[in-house]
Amino acid sequence: MRVGLTGGIGSGKSTVAGLLREAGAALVDTDAISRGLTLAGGAAMPAIAQAFGADFVAADGALDRDRMRALAFSDAGAKRRLEAILHPLITAQALAEADAATAPMIVFDVPLLVESGRWRSRVARVLVVDCSVETQIARVLQRPGWTMERVQGALAAQTSRQARRAAADAVLLNDGLSLAELATEVRSLAARWGCETIATP
């Protein structure tokens, strides 16, 4: 069973991904793949340096993430150029990791699954982790370095809750749940989707 996992910033998607992995699923983390591609020596760095210039390469040879984030938020064309470099590399590595996995469920953790439009055909089910916008903002503001302006920019760059929910085969509403309650919901869903080897304690 190949599952696409997504959710807005602050929804708890990463927590759900961890719970699925603890339950026995194989996790393919596209954000982690992207970070690896943009480290010093990463496969994406030559093309990024050529497309954006040396100002976007940090002293250690990795992507200057803060500078690139600021550019991508303010310039849609630059964001598209970056995605054109990264997305094919991310997809190729993610599919290779999935092909090598032996778990009963393979979870592709894709923050922009709905926005990209490319992942739906690659997975059997889509799981959306959802919560209110107020909860999203409150959670993200607890992260170091995040301001209200930055949170609002991140929310604006993502699709709406309604669009994510419309694309979902299942929605986990992560508002007011304890970690134990969320874990129970995750395990129940995995069992319903036919992954009998993922045991419920």
Alpha-helical segments (H) within 101-170: 113-116, 133-140, 148-157, 161-166
CA distance 56 to 194: 45
- pTM score, whole prediction: 0.87
CA distance 178 to 168: 23
Question: What digits encode the pLDDT tens for the residues 81-94?
Answer: 999 999 999 999 99
Reply yes or no on whether the pLDDT at 199 is more than 60. no
Residues in the chain: 201
Q: How many CB atoms lie within 10 A of CB 46?
A: 12
Q: How many CB atoms lie within 10 A of CB 122?
A: 15
**pLDDT given for residue 116 in this prediction:** 82
Q: How many CB atoms lie within 10 A of CB 16?
A: 24
In degrees and rounded to multiples of 5, residue 38 shows phi and psi of: -110, 10
Reply yes or no on whether the pLDDT at 145 is more than 90. no
**pLDDT given for residue 195 in this prediction:** 61
- The CA R_g of the chain, rounded to the nearest whole Å, is 17
- Structure tokens that stand for 13 in this block: 């998607």
Closest CA to 86 of 66, 106, 72: 72
